[in-house]
Every structure is written in structure tokens, then in C-alpha cells.
Amino acid sequence: MFRRRMNRTGWIDAPRDSLAQWDALARFATEARRDGLTRTVVCGMGGSSLAPQVLAAAFAEAGASLSVLDSTDPAAVLAVARAGDLDRTLFLISSKSGTTVETLAFYRYFAARLPAAHFAAITDPGTPLEALARERRFRAVFPHPVSVGGRYAALTVVGMLPAALLQLDGRALLERARAVEVPAARALGVRLAAAARAGRDKLVLRPPPPVARLADWIEQLVAESSGKQGRGVVPIVDDPSDGRRPDSEIMAEFSADPLDLGAEFLTWEFATWELCDRLGVNAFDQPDVEEAKQLAREELARGGGGGAVGAQHAAPPPTLTPAALRRAARPGDYLAIATCTPPASCTRAARTRACFSSSPRTMRWMPKSPRWASASAGSSGRRRAVTFARYSRAVGGSPTRIWRAPRTRATSSRSALLRGLERASPRSAASSSP
């Protein structure tokens, strides 16, 4: 059943390849610190940022020197800009495609404030980002493995360069990953596929506190890989309920040792491949994600000349109030809350989630951003998914497009999700937006 597809499977050899590269990554980190760059900000989206974020959170003491910027909300960007130590900060600009709108906006904003020696890039060979980095004379350009998709890249330079900058024991992480028993990892995928076919297609992730943020990385991996063609699994992170529901599969079997994160990454990559293979979907493509990116570019283009993004739309999509959504809930429905707000400011979305908490018929799910909300749309199958898009207002007067991006991402993600639902299900989908 586990058919090998010649489609971005280079991650299988990533532990071995990264071990061979580790000394070079450690040297780069040492030289950066020697030059006074003691703080690192990883600028990226999804697969480019989540593994570094997991490592920084798990190794708390070392993690204080590394943060992730993956939100275009003005408050998030300004928090980095106003931290007071920009002159000691290395910005790692990470984008496999080299064209990610948000990531390039981050670079342009900070490039106006810092010299090129404060920047390094991770990208596929031949991308616009590589050309830009070499033209501007970045401190370094690291090639992203072409045969590895972004969300499967945790054990490549995408995750291991931040590990070196954090001064972690990267060799131990990689050696433990090499010791993963592939049959056992595949068996986890078999379990998840069997649960999904039995109606338990909500995967509740409960890793122990020392590695709690591993759930964020798994969330993207499973959602983007499996959510397509009306099939898939919806991951649930930070579920406030302690109970077991008929449509849920609870996963709490994780190592609490942060040095086992390399093994967890590889285990879940194999498990996700097996899950997707048994569901009959390609684990390595992302049609709805690509559609959302294209919609975001089109939305920005339509908003040219300083006008409000989305102002050209003659009529907004149909909307329902949260109360109306709750009354309309049917067995198997779930609520997806996509928040385009500062990462630490999800209060209103949390209250919306809470208003559904007493309903036995709906699943409470709140991703921390819309990075993969559109990818999960395809997993609704014959059920209905509902998205609640919440975004913060843009800050006027900025010379860059970064300030228009929050509403743009909310609009494009919502549009891609609705289109995915229309393709996946004959039943209606509703969207609520304030």
C-alpha cells in the first residue's frame, strides 16, 4: 500500500544529508555571533518558519535568541523593528519558491534599515530570492533541497540552520532521527487513515508541555498534505475540551525530550505520507495553498495605487453571525477560525470559539493564522466547514505593501477555502467576516 512516488521525497535522506552539512552550518553560526549578530529572526511562512519556532520553544533558554516573524500584521512587524537590538540581529529570509509575498515584504521592510550583512537566505537554486540575495550581497545563501517540499523540510537547512544559530546539539537531533523505525512510523499513518475512514477525521494533538508547539508543525503537515479532493484529516491544536468526541482521534504519544524532536519530525513525515497514500491523495502537492497565494497576489494588484485592498469587489461573500452558525450546526460540521491579527492577540476569536464550546455537534478549532486554512477546506468531504475571518486594520502611510497584507491574506484564504468547499461538497458553505 505504501507506494513510493517520485515526488519530493528527498526528506527521507535529510537526516543523513544534514549531518554532512552540520559543521558548515555551525561555522556560519559561530562567525555570525563573532560579528555581533547574537539574535536571529526567521522570516518565513508555514514550512519555512514552523520547525524553527518549535525548536526555539522547546529549548527555552537558547530559544530566547531566536524568534519567528510569520505574520504580516503591522503590530507583529513593528514589535521586531522596535525591539531595540536590530544592530545585533541576523534576519534569515526563508522561502523555497523565492517568491512568497509576505517573506519578501519582510525583507524589503528591514533592508531599508540594515545593511546586507544582516541577512541570509534559504531558497531553491535559481529563484528570484537567490538572485536578489546575491545581487545585494547577503551574508550567505543556503540552497533549499529541490526534492523536499516546504512542509517536509524540518530536518534540512530550513530547521537545522536555526538549530545551529540556537547552539543546539544538532548532531544528536539528527542521529535520533536516523534511528526512527520506518515500519512503526508507517503504522501511525495506518492508524490515522483507519480512524478517518471510521469517521474520526479530527486529529486532536496533545504533545507534552516541553514540546507543546510540535503540534503547530504537525497541524500544517497533516492539513496541507491530506486536505484535498474532499478527503483528509483536520488537526486540532490546543483543544480546550478534555473529553473524547465521536469524530475525534486523540494523539498523545510523544516523547517529552526536546532532543527527540528530530525523530518526531521524521516519524510524522512518514506517517503523513502513509495516511495520504491510504486516503488516495498526493501528500506532496498543495493546490488550495497555491490558489490562495495567487489570489493574494491578484488582491494586492487590484489594490494598487494606495486604495483599500478588496475595495473593487462589488459585493462581499454571504455572511452569517456566529449565533446563526451555531443554530445551523449539524453532525460532522466544524468551525475554522482564521485570525489575521497579531499572534498574541486572538481574544475575539477565542471568545467566538468559546461560544461553540457547549455544542456537542461541532468541533472547536482555531488555527493561529490562515496559513493552512484553505488547505483544510478539501478535508470537509460531504460535511460543511465554516470559516470566520478576522483581520486587523492596516497601518496607512507605509511605503511597502506589508501593511495591506493582513486583510489581503484574510480575503484570499477565505476565497480559496470557499472554492475548495464548492469543489469538495455539494452542500453549501458559509463564510462569516466582520
Per-residue pLDDT of the chain (434 residues; tens, 9 = 90+): 334 444 579 999 999 999 999 999 999 999 999 999 999 999 999 899 999 999 999 998 876 799 999 988 888 899 999 988 999 999 999 999 999 988 999 999 999 999 999 999 999 999 999 999 999 999 999 999 999 999 999 999 999 999 999 999 999 999 999 999 999 999 999 999 999 999 999 999 999 999 999 999 999 999 999 988 888 999 998 887 777 888 899 999 999 999 999 999 999 999 999 999 999 999 998 776 667 767 766 766 666 444 444 444 445 666 777 778 777 777 767 767 666 666 665 555 566 565 555 554 444 444 444 444 444 444 433 344 444 444 333 333 333 444 444 455 555 555 555 555 455 444 433 333 33
At residue 252, φ and ψ (nearest 5 deg) are -130, 5
CA distance linking residue 190 with residue 204, whole number of Å? 16
Given this structure, which CATH class describes domain 10-175? Answer: alpha beta
Structural contact between residues 263 and 177, judged by C-beta atoms closer than 8 angstroms: yes
| Sheet hosting strand 385-391, strand order edge to edge | 363-365, 334-340, 385-391, 430-432
Structural contact between residues 342 and 76, judged by C-beta atoms closer than 8 angstroms: yes
Q: In the prediction, which pLDDT does 310 show?
A: 46
**In 10 A of CB 10, how many CB atoms?**
15
SS3 392: coil
How does DSSP classify residue 116?
Answer: G
At residue 140, φ and ψ (nearest 5 deg) are -165, 155
Q: In the prediction, which pLDDT does 57 show?
A: 96
At residue 356, φ and ψ (nearest 5 deg) are -100, -5
CA distance linking residue 140 with residue 331, whole number of Å? 52
Residue type, 423: R
CA distance linking residue 140 with residue 32, whole number of Å? 10
Would you say how long the chain is, in residues? 434
CA distance linking residue 430 with residue 434, whole number of Å? 13
Q: CA geometry: angle at 152 spanning 147 and 154, to 5°?
A: 110
Chain region(s) in the chain for CATH 3.40.50.10490? 10-175
Structural contact between residues 250 and 192, judged by C-beta atoms closer than 8 angstroms: no
DSSP E strands in 341-408: the ranges are: 363-365, 385-391
CA distance linking residue 102 with residue 76, whole number of Å? 13
Residue 327 grid coordinates: 443554530
- Which of 322, 420, 425 lies closest to 383 in space, CA to CA? 425
- Helix H or strand E encompassing 335: strand 334-340
| pTM for this predicted structure | 0.83
**In 10 A of CB 426, how many CB atoms?**
7
SS3 296: helix
Q: In the prediction, which pLDDT does 381 show?
A: 39
